[in-house]
Structure 1
Amino acid sequence: MPALRPLLQLAALFAAFLLWTAQPLAAQTAQEPPVAGRCLAVAGLLPQVTYVNLTPVQSAAGGEVTITYAGHSTYVIETPAGVRIATDFSGVYGTEPLPRVVTMNKAHRTHYTDFPDPGIEHVLRGWNPDGGPARHALTVDDVHIRNVPTDIRHFGAMERDGNSIFIFEMAGLCIGHLGHLHHRLEDAHYSAIGRLDVVMVPIDGGMTLSLDTMSEITTRLYSSTILPMHRHATPINAFLARMGEEFAVDFRAERSLKVSLRSLPQRPTIVVLEGV
């Protein structure tokens, strides 16, 4: 019986989580904002658990999300309701049409700007200028945006909570942008991130993390769709080779892809968009 206790605890936690997520879905109407937190893992205290896929619970969600590689670490995400989001926004990429929401990380000036266009409704910095971790939990029409703080290298030392992984929940999908990640993720990070159907991963191999470490993180997240970014001069095959045969590879001749809950590939796939 003692050996079964962890499994029974996980089963009970999973059942409670299903009830928690199903109740808001039953009450939610098309006009109401999305319920946040459905991407979170249910087993945060179990270090060997990668994520829990709750796709059946979210099957009522629909619509296509368009993701466009704008440049460097900037992807433009457009929700089914037309909300445009630009990641790691520096004002160089993803400005036309002007996004309603931008996220930033402060590793370098190529990942943020002190002078965003005043027409941008929501500017979400991955760090807190007043100190401490940044905390974001924002719903804009059909998307909920939250962050998981991470540390950053600063003049050779690690600055606590200097950056963030941003997570976008929309159309039943969980989309994550790892930003300018500078260290391995701990179990607490993975639990806070939860399930990611789509993840955007920096593959420069040095300015962020080594390719070995980044492939380790990407493998543990085990997302259906992996979008490389921040490549610089690193050969794309250097990253692909480290991911192994378990991951399919899809080279695209265009800069955009459309993704929905129903169109996610069954086999985890690295999608290399034009320009990456």
Structure 2
Amino acid sequence: MRFVLYKLVAALMAGGLVAAVHAYPLDKTVLGAALLAWMALLLRWPHAWLLGVPALLPVLDLTPYTGSFYLEEIDLLLLATACAGYARLRPAAPRATLPRSVVAALMLVALATAIAAVNGLLPLPPLDANAFANYSSRFNSLRVAKGFAWALVLLPLLRAGAGERLEGIGRFFIPGMLLGLALTSCAVMWERSAFPGLLNFSSDYRPTAPFSAMHTGGAALDAYLALCFPFVAAWLLRVDDRRRLAVALLLLLFGGFAGLATFSRDMYLAYAVSGAVILALLGARRLRHGGVPDWRGACTAIAA
């Protein structure tokens, strides 16, 4: 039964992908070729999406050039990912187990999201030229709910990719998140270099980096940096040679600079909490191995 369900979901995603490519405003030939190449990659290496999607998620945003913010580039990538992933997914594949508390929390959030989406959508407006072109449209509730819906669609693929012992998280997902952090931090530095100056902190210019949705305000960049920074701690706990340590420290430097450049008090608090977590985990790891915590090294890493 699950096998048939997975194939039906794959077919549904394939149909959605064809419709989305048809509606996309830029060159469809190049786009179609890129998506087919991505799907071929996933059919050969099914866990590669755990690396590629987190890395591309923050930077794959061409809304300023396309004008399309209901259908975004990341939607096309996720449609292709889900299509290839479900086409290759096997019911008997080993997968991570979700605790009942997590399942209950997901169900509650899904229910709340569905109620909010329906409440925002009704009464159903006419499908005119303005329906998907502004934030005041009732269809905007679907745009807001889209992110959580994608998380639910990809959850079975995440469980299969993570494996029973979550080895896929450390091997693919954490490096993908760190690549996303690095790309976002580079975008912040490029933007600051182009406008107020890279090290000009006398100006309170707040970058938006690749998050085009911030043209109406919000804190998408702050939230993303706060989300990614703890993964640097996870990477630091896994370092076993100097090269990986150097990469981790460089990510601390880039991510720390990007966070400081937001001029957000919430961001500073999030980084302080992340620093405390890094300090505690490094100390606990040293104690487990029977040694004395290297507080100087840990503090140096946090200060970097």
Same fold (TM over 0.5): no
Q: Rg larger in 1 or in 2?
A: 2
- Which structure has the highest helix share of the two? 2
TM-score by length of 1: 0.28
TM-score w.r.t. length of structure 2: 0.26
Task: Name the one with the larger strand percent.
Answer: 1
